[in-house]
Amino acid sequence: MSKKTFFSVEYDFQSSPQLLYQYLSTPSGLSEWFADNVNSRGENFQFIWDDTEENAKLIQTKINERIRFQWDNGSPEDADYYFEFKIEVDEITKDVSLIVSDYADDDEMDESKLLWDSLIADLKQVLGSS
């Protein structure tokens, strides 16, 4: 299996970090924009899209600042990859940014970024953020 490449994309938000964090860290928030349904039991999350199910483990969190999930599908190479949401607030302007970090195969990099663009557009719509 080929090694995946790390990438991150930054998005501006018209939202408080606290509200944004709720949509990134809770099953109910994530099911509003990220997956059709999300279940959690402790640090284990189950993401459901149509007839597809993916499991991830919450491996790092700092309230209102960051949350990191690691895919857990029984494959040893999954341990090397994660996806992360990081909320940053500009100290001067108080502008809120969301930085999404993920991994993708080189030949799927553009599609992965487009997928995140689409997902974040959905999140902004849910939050009423333009």
pTM (predicted TM-score): 0.91
d(CA 83, CA 69): 5
The residues spanned by each domain of the chain are 5-127
Residue of higher predicted confidence among 38 and 71: 38
Lowest-pLDDT range, 2-6, 18-22, 85-89? 2-6
Note the Cα 67 to chain centre separation in Å. 8
pLDDT at 111 > cutoff 90: yes
pLDDT band at 73 (very low <50, low <70, confident <90, very high): confident
Q: What is the pLDDT of residue 118?
A: 97
**Domain made up of 5-127: CATH architecture:** 2-Layer Sandwich (3.30)
pLDDT in tens, 31-67: 999 999 999 999 999 999 998 999 999 999 999 999 9
d(CA 45, CA 106): 27
> If you ran DSSP here, which 8-state letter would residue 24 be given?
H
- Contact by Cβ (8 Å): 48, 31: no
d(CA 3, CA 103): 9
